[in-house]
Structures are given as C-alpha cells and as structure tokens.
Structure 1
Amino acid sequence: RHTDLYRRTRRTRALSVAGEMQWDTLPGRACSGPAFDLHAYWEPAYTSGGHLLDWSVTEDELLLVVADGTGPGTPAALVSTLALTAIRNARRAGLDLVAQASLTDQALYGQYRGKSPLAALLVRLDLTTGGIEAVDAGSPTLWRIRGALTERIELDRQLPLGMFEDTVYATQRLGLLRGDRLVFVACGTDEPPAAGDPGTADGSVARALAGAGRLSGADTPRAVVRALRDARRATPDAVLVLCLDWRGHGPGAPGEERHEDPSPPPPTAP
C-alpha cells in the first residue's frame, strides 16, 4: 500500500490518465469464496476509463455492480468514479440495492443533470440459498449457462442512473442452481432487436460464449472479450466481461459439467 513498485511491475507500458483512474478504482480481476468463483477481464486495459465493476463479499452475501461506460477517456472515467464512489458509500452505510441505485442516481444527476447517464446492473447474491436480487438500470447484458443451455436473462429494464431526478427503482429476483455460470457483458451497445440473431450484439455474445464453453471461469472473460473485439462491426472496442461460477447450494444443473479450478490471471493486465 505504500509503494508504487507492485503497480509498476503489473504494467507493460504507460497508462492513460483515464486508464490510471480505472485501475485505481476497480477492485481487481478475481474473487473466490466457498460457494463461488468470480473472474473479470476488460480491454483496452491501458486507455479505457468508462466501464465500471465492483464487488463486496461477506459470509452471507456477494454484492456486485457492472456498468457500461459513457464513452472513452477521462470524462467517462470521471462519471464512473463518481458512480462507484456513490455506490460504495451507500453499500458501506448498510443500504439495500434500491437505496444504492437511488443514491447513485441522485449523485450523477446532481453533477451532470441527465447528460451522462450510466447503464448499470446491481446484484445481491445470497450465498446461503443461491437467490439473487437485481436492480437493472438500463444495464449490461446478463447471460446464464446451465448445462448445455446458454441463454440471455431478460430483466425488466429501468432508467439508467442519473438520467432523471428522483427515479424510483425496484428489485427483481431469480435463483441459481449448483453448476450455473453467469456472464455479465458490458460493451456499451443498445438492446438488440432480436436475441440470438447473428447480426446483432446478442448474436455476437452468444457466439463468443459458445466458443468459450469448455474454458474455466478464469479463462472465459478474456476469451469472450477477445471474440467480441474481433467482431468490431457488432460491438465497440471497449468490452468488460465478468464470469460468476456458482458451486454453492441447490441441486446440480441438468447436464452439469465440471470446470477446472480457476487459475490466477496473468499480471500484465489489471
């Protein structure tokens, strides 16, 4: 905590100011507990500043937030930093997901007056039951891999954070089976017209997930990010992917496959 030595060792070249802000605010790229494994990856790591990611873990719950960036560069990094600070402030005060979304909405609207809304997904996972509460504020897409079935989880989209003053948010619920994998994809695209259509962003994500189907949770985010960035006509250059493997409570998923134990990510990217 008191030296730059380790931070300098992690990077292979100089960061932009926006990239430096992002590296300092995001929590890292991996987190594990007795019931779950969590891995993230994003590109471009050295110049991006917009996408937002955070988590907090206790014995009973895992709290997650994933958000699309508002654009490249320092202005987007400032929006994300303000949003992340507001979310952490509400979370550390013991507020629930709705209150976290509301406080962040007020902070962003108070600063930008609706000019820089942030599309975000806030999630609370009960580690004792596998139950999920979610606040979908115009969010990144959420995908579930259960056995041989890969599908996008359609949540009721609410207004992005900071778009209007005093927006009222509500939670939605879903559950996990042992062996489920959730993949969160933030790439800044609007909701595609038809899920699974090869010509849409959803189709690109579905193909990327299919290509990463037998990879471990540690390797999946990088593979999906690279596949999406290769399909640049369907998705933008900046992509963040978060992979959550649930091995906790509940019956095993039909056709459940065992995945290899996740290995630590390489040190050259955040």
Structure 2
Amino acid sequence: MEESESGGMTAWVPLVDGAERLGVLAVQAPSLTPAVLRRGRALATLLAMMITSARAYQDSLVRRTRTNPMALPAEMLRAFLPPRTIGTGHVVSTAVLEPAYEIGGDAFDHSLTETTLHATVLDAMGHDLASGLTTAVSLAACRNARRTGADLPELVECVDDALARWLPDQFCTGVLAQLDLASGTLRWSNCGHPTPLLIRDQRLLVDAMRREPDPPMGLPSLLAGRQRQTHEIALRPGDRVLMYTDGVTEARGADGAEFGLEQFADYIIRATAAGELAPETLRRLIHSILDSSTSRLRDDATILMFEWSRPPC
C-alpha cells in the first residue's frame, strides 16, 4: 500500500493463477477500507482467471505482453512449457528461462500427482531450430512416459529411444527427478548435466547430489550400451533443490566476471534466510543478471527450484 499521487491510497493486489504470479492489480480509493480491499482481491482473482484462459488463444493479449519479436525456436519451445510455478501446501516448484525471446535448446518441466513432484531441466546441443526440436521431442517423450505411469529409468529410456528414432544426430543433457511428497525421498537421473544443488539450513551442501553423470540422452547413449543410473537422497523439511543449465553460472556480471556457482548459491541462501518465497527468489535472481546494461548471458539460462515440507501425519 502507498499514497497515490492523485490523492487517496493505492493497494497493489497480486494476480495469481494457482501458485504462479501473473502480475499485480492497482486498486485506488480515497481510503482502503476492508470492503475495498475485499472487492479488490475478488477482482484480482477474476482477472487472473480471465488472463489465464485468454492467453491460450488470444494473440492480441500475447502481443501486448511482448516487448520484442520472438525467435522461432523460442516460440516453439515456449508453447510446450508448463506454468512457471506449481505447488501444494507441502511443495512448491518454480522456474525461470532466459533470454525470453531467443532461447534455443533449454527447457524445464514440472508436474504434480497426488504422491509425486516430477521435475526436469533439459539442454539440447546447439542454439538453432534443430536444438529446439530436440528439446521439444525430449519434453514430449518425458510427458508421454510419465502419463503412462513409467518409472524414472523407463522415462529416461523413452527419451533415448525417441531421440534415436526421430533425431539421431542430436543429443540432449538433462536432470530428471521425482520427489515423493510424503517421505521427501528424491530420486534423479543425471544425463550429462550440471550437478543439482541442495540448500539445507541456509547452507550449500556442495557434494550432496554429486554423482558421476551418465551420457547425454539420444542415440550416442544407446550405442554406448551403458546402463542408466538412478540416484536417491532423503530431503529434510525446508530443503531447496536447484536444477539449472550452465548458462546460469557462465553469465557475466556488471564487472565482466562469470556469475559462478558460489555466487549463484549464495544468492539463493541469502534469499532463503530473508524468508523470501521461492518464485520471488528466482525472479530477483534472474533480474540481477539481466538488468545491468553490462550484464549478459553467453548461453540460454534455466533454473528450476523446488522446496519441500513434510505433510502433517
């Protein structure tokens, strides 16, 4: 809330679709009585539902939200992406992907069932339409296997088979994970990708999820004949897990130096200590990289972070 320049007061009410923040609504009135705030929240809820529904088929709404032309690979991949934030009372998963208009091969996916959070980060070889196609096929294979009840090893195998069949000259790195919501047991497979990070009690546990990675997904993995490995770790309530692509740690800051793994983790830790919600943490983190005129991304940058808390018995 703040005083309005034209007199009266202004309240900023969040527009929220489930766990995803779409924007804010300014409510102006001579005085912000409980009735005014109640009507403002009701209007914000209605507007959020209208925006969520309309943006799926109304190009006029999409055009108004864009500030630059979108490259074809980015247009294709963003059509596949889920909401940036999903969650329940016991887990929240949130992600960002930049640059918004020029991504080539990065993508993320997350979904919930009654018992499990599924989370995936992918990075295809190259920065052209072929890399976008590779990631799109990988995402589709993940979802197809997941929706038929495939376990994690079978899911990775489905991506290998799909790429080998349809795009034999392409490959894709990634981390595919499944979190049991009741127990906090996290299982994952690392296919040639940067090691996920675990933050616990406001500390980075550097080697907690470090395992020897398997080869990237695709025909080369099938030809290698190496069995995929599935890893497991028990999370504690309040743990945050970060899955990311190397474009994040290779980003250049205002001083020209690489953002780096330590600075990346330190930002998340400080935000956690300040009680910042996970979606807001990632929003501020990516803007800290992008907003400076001298900062720049050398590659696509994707971050997916989820936080687990134990359900009541």
TM-score range, shorter chain: 0.7 to 0.9
User: How far apart are the structure 2 equivalents of 1:169 and 1:34?
Assistant: 33
In structure 2, which of residues 261, 264, 267 is the aligned counterpart of residue 202 of structure 1?
261
**Structure with greater proportional strand content:** 2
1:222 Cα shift?
2.7
Q: Taking every aligned residue pair, what percent have the same amino acid on both sides?
A: 27
* Alignment-mate amino acid for residue 84 of structure 2: R
Residue aligned with 2:196, SS: strand
Determine the structure 2 residue equivalent to 1:118: 172
Aligned in 2, Cα 1:2/1:49: closer, same or farther, shift over 3 Å? same
Determine the structure 1 residue equivalent to 2:215: 159
Aligned in 2, Cα 1:209/1:150: closer, same or farther, shift over 3 Å? same
Aligned in 2, Cα 1:167/1:102: closer, same or farther, shift over 3 Å? farther
- Asked if structure 1 preserves the Cα contact closer than 8 Å seen for 2:72 and 2:129, the reply is yes
Structure 1: give runs of 5+ residues left out of the alignment: 191-197, 251-270
In structure 2, which of residues 188, 191, 203 is the aligned counterpart of residue 149 of structure 1?
203
- Asked if structure 2 preserves the Cα contact closer than 8 Å seen for 1:61 and 1:125, the reply is yes
- Asked if structure 2 preserves the Cα contact closer than 8 Å seen for 1:69 and 1:188, the reply is no
Number of matched pairs: 243
Aligned in 2, Cα 1:61/1:72: closer, same or farther, shift over 3 Å? same
- Asked if structure 1 preserves the Cα contact closer than 8 Å seen for 2:153 and 2:230, the reply is yes
User: How far apart are the structure 2 equivalents of 1:41 and 1:189?
Assistant: 11
The answer to which of 150-159 and 202-211 deviates more is 202-211
Aligned in 2, Cα 1:155/1:220: closer, same or farther, shift over 3 Å? farther
In structure 2, which of residues 93, 98, 107 is the aligned counterpart of residue 52 of structure 1?
107
* Alignment-mate amino acid for residue 164 of structure 1: S
1:51 Cα shift?
0.8
Aligned in 2, Cα 1:204/1:70: closer, same or farther, shift over 3 Å? farther
Determine the structure 1 residue equivalent to 2:278: 217
Residue aligned with 1:206, SS: helix
Residue aligned with 1:68, SS: strand
Aligned in 2, Cα 1:69/1:28: closer, same or farther, shift over 3 Å? farther
| Residues 15-58 of structure 1: CA deviation (Å, up to 9, x unaligned) | 11111112101112110112111111111011113112112211
| Residues 115-136 of structure 1: CA deviation (Å, up to 9, x unaligned) | 4221111111111111111111
Determine the structure 2 residue equivalent to 1:102: 157
User: How far apart are the structure 1 equivalents of 2:194 and 2:97?
Assistant: 14
1:68 Cα shift?
2.1
User: How far apart are the structure 1 equivalents of 2:229 and 2:282?
Assistant: 29
User: How far apart are the structure 1 equivalents of 2:134 and 2:84?
Assistant: 21
Structure 2: give runs of 5+ residues left out of the alignment: 1-55, 250-256
Q: 1:58-97 residue pairs with structure 2 within 5 A?
A: 58-97=113-152
1:175 Cα shift?
1.2
Q: 1:176-195 residue pairs with structure 2 within 5 A?
A: 176-187=235-246
Name the larger-Rg structure: 2
User: How far apart are the structure 2 equivalents of 1:12 and 1:206?
Assistant: 30
- Asked if structure 2 preserves the Cα contact closer than 8 Å seen for 1:212 and 1:224, the reply is no
RMSD: 2.9
User: How far apart are the structure 2 equivalents of 1:14 and 1:29?
Assistant: 21
**Structure with greater proportional helix content:** 2
- Asked if structure 2 preserves the Cα contact closer than 8 Å seen for 1:140 and 1:188, the reply is no
User: How far apart are the structure 1 equivalents of 2:268 and 2:151?
Assistant: 31
- Asked if structure 1 preserves the Cα contact closer than 8 Å seen for 2:197 and 2:205, the reply is yes
* Alignment-mate amino acid for residue 168 of structure 1: Q
Residue aligned with 2:298, SS: coil
Q: Which has the higher contact order (CA 8 A, sep 6+)?
A: 1
- Asked if structure 1 preserves the Cα contact closer than 8 Å seen for 2:199 and 2:240, the reply is yes
1:226 Cα shift?
4.2
- TM-score between the two structures when normalised by the length of structure 1: 0.79
| Residues 32-90 of structure 1: CA deviation (Å, up to 9, x unaligned) | 11211111111101111311211221111111111124232322111100111111111
